[in-house]
Amino acid sequence: MAKKNPLISLYVKKFGRITTNGSWYMIQILQSYTEQSIPLDADGIKHLILAVSKEKGLKSSSIRSAIKRYLDNGWNRNPIVWKRYTAWKYRFPPDVNTAIRLLCASYVDFEKSFEDEHQRTRETINQPFPKMQEDRANFPSVSDHRSSKKKIICSFIGHKDVYDADIQFRIQSTVDGLVAEYEAVEFYVYPDGDFSYICLLVALKARTYNPQKVTIALISDHSSTEEMLNSERAFFCMSDKLITPVIQESKKDDITLKQTRMMQWIVQNSTHVISYFYDTLYDPHYQPIKFQRALEYDLTTPETEAAILNAVSFLTEKEQLIFQKMNEGCTLKDAGKVISVGSERARQILQHGCRTIRLELKERYHSKLTAEQKLKKTTCGLFALGEGTFESLTRFKRITDFLFSVYDVRDIYVDSSYSLSSFLFALVYATASRIALRETKITALMCADTFSADDDDQNDIRKSLCPPCHSVTYVSRVGTGDDNSDFDVISDMIERADFCICDLSSAQYSEKIREFAAQTRGAILLDISIPNDVNYMRCW
C-alpha cells in the first residue's frame, strides 16, 4: 500500500480517536478506496474489509468490531460531525457498512474543500498585515451549524506549545465567525502555555471590538482564590470574571491528572470548544475528552501531522518501535512487550521520543514564520490612568509584567501628562531592574498645538520629559472641537499600539474611546479600573 495520506488521518480523526485499532483500519480502508475507486455497494465494502483483514492476519469480524468501537466512541464525543460531513441525520450512529460508505463517499468533497481553504489561508498569510485584515471577513465560515443565536460559551484547549505559524490567524478567524453569528459569547481561558496566551490575545481583541457581546472568564485551578489574587503572575484583571472550579483531588499528587480533569470540566461547561491537539504527540496533559455537549472546532493541520511522522526518523530504535505500536492502537503494556519492558517504562520511552519530535516541530515552526512576524514589535500605550492608588498601581504592575513576559512588549507610548506620574516611575523601575527589559523604549505623545513652534520651547519640553521618557512625538490635531487635544493623543495611541492600558472609569471620553477602538479595530483596551470583587469572583 502507498504511503499514508495525512489528510485521510485528519478526516478519520474527526469521527473518533485516531489512536485506536478501529481508526487505523478505517484509514486503510479509505486509502484503498481512494487508490482503487472500488464501488461502494455491499460487495465493494466487503472487499475493502477483506483487504485489511488479510494484511493484518485477522478475521473480518474482528475488523468490524474494532471499527464499531471506534464509531461508538466518536459518536459519544461529537455526533454533530456526522451531519456536517456525511449528511447523516439520525439520532443513532450508522452501522459499520453504512459508516464506511458514508466516509468514503464524503471524503472526496472534504479533500477538495480543505485544499481550497488551505490554499486561501496560505495566500492570505503571505499578504501584508493590512490586507489580511481586509480579507478576514471573506474567510470561509467556521461552522455550518445554526442551532442557536443566543449566548454561547466558547473555551480553548490545546497543547502548551504551538507548532503552526498561522495558528493565531486560524483562531482569530474562528472567533470572528462565532462573534458574528451569536448574540453573546463568553470565552473561557485557562492560562497554561503559549497556545492559551494566543487565545487570550484573540479573546481580548474580540472583547475590545465587540464590548456589548463578548466577555472573558479566567479559569483558575488554585484551590484558594486568595492565593490567585496575591499571585505575582495573576492577570485576572484582563478578564470579566474569575472561575475556580472545584476539581476532585486524586490520592496521588498527580498534576497531569488534575489538569486533565480541569480540561474535562471546561469542555463539559462549554457549548463550543476550539481545540488544538495532535493525537500522535501523546501529550501527557491530554487524555481523550468527550465533546458530546460541545461543538468542536479542530485547528490541527495535515501538514503538521505529516511533519510529526517525518520527525519519527530522529528517534532511537526503541522509541520508534513504541511510537509505531501506539499509532497502531496498542496499549502501553502491549507496546512495551515488543522491547521487553513494562508499561511505565514504555510510557517514559514514548514521552522522551515525543519530546524529540516537539523540538523538531519548534524548529519547523520558527522556520515557517514570515519575516514580518519575526520583526514585528509589540507596543503598548498608556493614557487616562487616573490617580495612582495602591490598588491601581498593583493592577498596573501585574498587567505590565504579564505583557512584558508573555507578549514581549518593548515599545511604550505614554500620554505626556503621565510622563512624571507614579505609573511611569513604576514602569521605569520594572524595566531597569530586569536585564531583558532594559532595551524598552518609552515615547511621550503630545498634541502639536499645545506649544509654540519655537525650537527652544520644544527643547524645554524634551528636557522636562526625558528622562524618564526616551523621546517625544508630536500628534497633529484631528479633533473637531477646541478642547479635543487629549482625545487626539488617545486616538493616535490606539491606532499605533497593540495594547492600551487605561482607567476608563476616570477617563473624560470613556464611551468615545471604546467606540473608537471598536470601529478602528485598533489597540486592545486593558481597563485597570477596580471592579467589585464580590461580583467579579465566582467559584464552582
Residue 46 located in a structural domain = yes
3-state SS assignment for residue 296? strand
> In angstroms, how far is CA 136 from the centroid of its own chain?
17
Rounded Cα distance between 438 and 149, Å, is 49
**Do 398 and 423 lie in a common domain?**
yes
Residue 361 located in a structural domain = no
Q: Which helix (H) or strand (E) holds 188?
A: strand 185-189
- CATH code for position 244: 3.40.50
Average pLDDT over every residue of 402-408? 84
| Closest CA relative to residue 442, chosen from 452, 456, 427, 453 | 427
Rounded Cα distance between 223 and 246, Å, is 8
**Do 106 and 159 lie in a common domain?**
no
What pLDDT score was predicted for residue 148? 47
**Do 105 and 140 lie in a common domain?**
no
Structural domain range at position 206: 126-300
Residue 441 located in a structural domain = yes
Residues of the chain with pLDDT > 90, as a percent, come to 6
DSSP secondary structure letter of residue 157: E
What pLDDT score was predicted for residue 75? 81
Comparison of pLDDT for 286 and 175, the residue scoring more: 175
**Do 86 and 212 lie in a common domain?**
no
3-state SS assignment for residue 284? coil
Burial grade of 34 (CB within 10 A; 0-12, 13-18, 19 or more): middle
Residue 35 located in a structural domain = yes
Under the banding of pLDDT at 50, 70 and 90, the label for residue 536 is: very low
**Do 117 and 196 lie in a common domain?**
no
| Closest CA relative to residue 289, chosen from 313, 309, 312, 262 | 262
- CATH code for position 99: 1.10.10
Give me 476's grid cell: 497633529
pLDDT at 77 over 60: yes
Average pLDDT over every residue of 371-386? 79
**Do 294 and 386 lie in a common domain?**
no
Rounded Cα distance between 278 and 18, Å, is 10
Ordered DSSP codes for 400-431: HHHHHHHS-EEEEEEEGGGTTSHHHHHHHHHH
Average pLDDT over every residue of 333-357? 89
Give me 432's grid cell: 531597569
What pLDDT score was predicted for residue 254? 56
Listed range (394-398, 466-470, 536-540) with the worst mean pLDDT: 536-540
What pLDDT score was predicted for residue 477? 55
| Alpha carbon separation from 278 to 25, 34, 47, 305, 325 (Å, rounded) | 19, 24, 31, 7, 17
**Do 109 and 150 lie in a common domain?**
no
pLDDT one-digit tens code per residue, 304-320: 888 888 888 888 889 88
Average pLDDT over every residue of 271-281? 87
**Do 150 and 118 lie in a common domain?**
no
Residue 325 located in a structural domain = no
User: Among 276, 300, 324, where does a domain finish?
Assistant: 300
Residue 540 located in a structural domain = no
What pLDDT score was predicted for residue 109? 83
Which residues partner with 308 through β-bridges?
Answer: none
pLDDT at 104 over 80: yes
pLDDT one-digit tens code per residue, 240-263: 888 888 766 655 555 566 777 788
User: Among 70, 100, 125, where does a domain finish?
Assistant: 125
**Do 64 and 175 lie in a common domain?**
no
Rounded Cα distance between 57 and 46, Å, is 16
**Do 138 and 286 lie in a common domain?**
yes
Listed range (5-9, 370-374, 522-526) with the worst mean pLDDT: 370-374
What pLDDT score was predicted for residue 412? 87
What pLDDT score was predicted for residue 11? 82
Residue 354 located in a structural domain = no
Question: What average pLDDT does the chain have?
Answer: 77
**Do 118 and 132 lie in a common domain?**
no
Average pLDDT over every residue of 274-278? 88
pLDDT at 230 over 60: no
Average pLDDT over every residue of 34-62? 85
What pLDDT score was predicted for residue 255? 58
Rounded Cα distance between 86 and 79, Å, is 11
The four Cα atoms 423, 428, 431, 437 give a dihedral, to 10 degrees, of: 110
User: Among 125, 154, 175, where does a domain finish?
Assistant: 125
Between the ranges 84-88, 343-347, 469-473, 520-524, where is the mean pLDDT highest? 343-347
pLDDT one-digit tens code per residue, 508-521: 778 888 888 888 88
pLDDT at 59 over 50: yes
Residue 311 located in a structural domain = no
127's CB contacts (< 8 A; 6+ apart) are: 135
Sheet strand arrangement including 214-219: 295-298, 272-276, 152-158, 185-189, 214-219, 241-244, 537-539
Rounded Cα distance between 204 and 321, Å, is 44
Which residues partner with 297 through β-bridges?
Answer: 274
Q: Quick check: bond before 468 cis, omega within 30?
A: yes
**Do 139 and 203 lie in a common domain?**
yes
Domain total in the chain: 3
Average pLDDT over every residue of 20-28? 83
Total residues found in the chain within this entry = 540
